[in-house]
């Protein structure tokens, strides 16, 4: 475990949101517990989209911090406004 490491930050995040990979793995939709995936909101901001088929909520990300509040979530249903 003490070998020489020559690439400390070689594989940094490429695009996408600024959510840490380890953090995103443990994140779950507070409404249905489904996994969340990166998405882009209607205003171009990053958000986390619930993968639940019957949920589809989208949670915005503020300053790299996902707002995982059901009351703050945006309904992801692609129906008419």
Site for Zn ion in 22-51 (CB under 5 A): 29, 31-32, 34, 50
Residue 73: alpha-carbon gap to chain centroid: 12
Collapsing DSSP states into helix, strand and coil, what is residue 70? helix
- Residue 73 binds to Zn ion (criterion: CB under 5 A): no
Number of residues that make up the chain = 81
Q: How far is the CB of 6 from Zn ion (least distance, A)?
A: 42
The smaller minimum CB distance to Zn ion, of residues 30 and 46, is found at: 30
Neighbours of 58 (CB within 10 A): 19
What is d(CA 64, CA 52) in angstroms, rounded to the nearest whole number? Answer: 22
**Is there binding between residue 52 and Zn ion (CB under 5 A)?**
yes
Q: Which residues bind Zn ion (CB under 5 A)?
A: 29, 31-32, 34, 50, 52, 55, 57
């Amino acid at each position: 475990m003490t070998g020489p490491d020559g690439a400390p930050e070689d594989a940094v995040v490429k695009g996408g949101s600024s959510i840490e990979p380890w953090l995103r793995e443990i994140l779950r939709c507070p409404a249905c517990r489904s996994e969340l995936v990166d998405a882009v909101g209607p205003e171009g901001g990053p958000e986390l989209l619930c993968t639940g088929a019957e949920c589809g909520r989208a949670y915005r990300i503020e300053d790299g911090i996902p707002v995982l509040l059901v009351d703050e979530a945006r309904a992801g249903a692609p129906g008419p406004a």
